[in-house]
């Protein structure tokens, strides 16, 4: 069964998409890596961001982590400051 997952966007990811959240269709059993592939296909400009991290339910996630439609997912871009 396919469903969509909402992904929160911050910083440069929000600027590049013009949105604070996007809905991404994913098949059941999809991983964080699958999600990132879908996002890069839909928003190619995001593929150029180095060190983009993904948080699932408030914790950093590895690409192998399996997602459910109830997960809260956020793209965390690199942060600079002084």
Contact yes or no for 36/60 (Cβ under 8 A): no
Task: Give the tens place of pLDDT for each residue, 1-18.
Answer: 478 899 999 999 999 999
Residue 48 lies in a domain: yes
- Which percentage of the chain shows pLDDT scores above 90? 77
Number of domains comprising the chain: 1
For residue 71, the domain's CATH number is 3.10.20.30
Residue 81 lies in a domain: no
Residue 13 lies in a domain: yes
pLDDT over 60 (residue 82): no
Distances (CA, A) of 40 to 10, 32, 33, 43: 16, 12, 11, 5
At 64, the pLDDT band (50, 70, 90 cuts) reads very high
Q: What is the pTM of this model?
A: 0.87
């Amino acid at each position: 069964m396919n469903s969509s997952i909402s992904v929160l966007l911050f910083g440069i990811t929000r600027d590049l998409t013009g949105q604070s959240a996007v809905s991404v269709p994913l098949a059941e059993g999809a991983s964080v890596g699958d999600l990132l592939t879908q996002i890069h296909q839909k928003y190619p400009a995001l593929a150029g961001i180095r060190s983009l991290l993904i948080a699932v339910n408030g914790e950093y996630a590895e690409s192998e982590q399996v997602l459910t439609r109830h997960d809260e997912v956020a793209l965390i871009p690199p942060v600079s400051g002084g």
